[in-house]
Amino acid sequence: MEEPSFSPGRERLHEIIFEADTPAGKVFDVLLLIFIAASVITVMLESIEPLQAEYAQLFTLVEWGFTLVFTAEYLLRLYCVYRPLKYAASFFGVIDLLAILPSYLALILPASQYFLIIRAFRLIRIFRVFKLGHFLKEGEVIVQALKASRAKIIVFLTFVSLLVLIIGALMYLIEGGSNPGFSSIPRSVYWAIVTLTTVGYGDITPTTDVGRFISGAVMILGYAIIAVPTGIVSAEFVSEYYGQKVSTQNCRYCGREGHEHDAIYCKYCGEQLNP
Could you say which residues in the range 82-121 bind a second copy, by CB under 8 A? 116-117, 119-120
Q: Tell the smallest beta-carbon distance from residue 110 to a second copy (Å).
A: 16
Angle between helices 139-148 and 150-175 (to 10 degrees): 70
Q: Tell the smallest beta-carbon distance from residue 205 to a second copy (Å).
A: 4
**237 exposure class (CB count in 10 Å sphere: 0-12, 13-18, 19+):** middle
Interface with a second copy in residues 149-208 (CB under 8 A): 151-162, 164-166, 169-170, 172-173, 176-177, 183-187, 189-190, 193-195, 197-203, 205
**Which stretches within 47-90 are classed as H helix?**
49-80, 84-89
Interface with a second copy in residues 124-153 (CB under 8 A): 126-127, 129-130, 136, 138-139, 141-142, 145-146, 151-153
**Which stretches within the chain are classed as H helix?**
8-18, 23-46, 49-80, 84-89, 91-108, 111-122, 139-148, 150-175, 185-196, 209-225, 227-242
Q: Tell the smallest beta-carbon distance from residue 93 to a second copy (Å).
A: 19
Q: Tell the smallest beta-carbon distance from residue 174 to a second copy (Å).
A: 9
Q: Which is nearer to a second copy, 12 or 187 (CB)?
A: 187
Distance (Å, whole) CA 200 – CA 183: 18
User: Counting contacts by CB under 8 A, is residue 241 touching a second copy?
Assistant: yes
Distance (Å, whole) CA 83 – CA 14: 12
Site string for a second copy, 37-66 (x = CB under 8 A): ---x--xxx-xxx-----------------
Q: Tell the smallest beta-carbon distance from residue 5 to a second copy (Å).
A: 38
**268-to-244, 245, 252, 253, 272 alpha-carbon distances in Å:** 20, 18, 12, 10, 11
Which range touches a second copy (CB under 8 A), out of 3-11, 58-66, 85-93, 235-243? 235-243
User: Counting contacts by CB under 8 A, is residue 249 touching a second copy?
Assistant: no
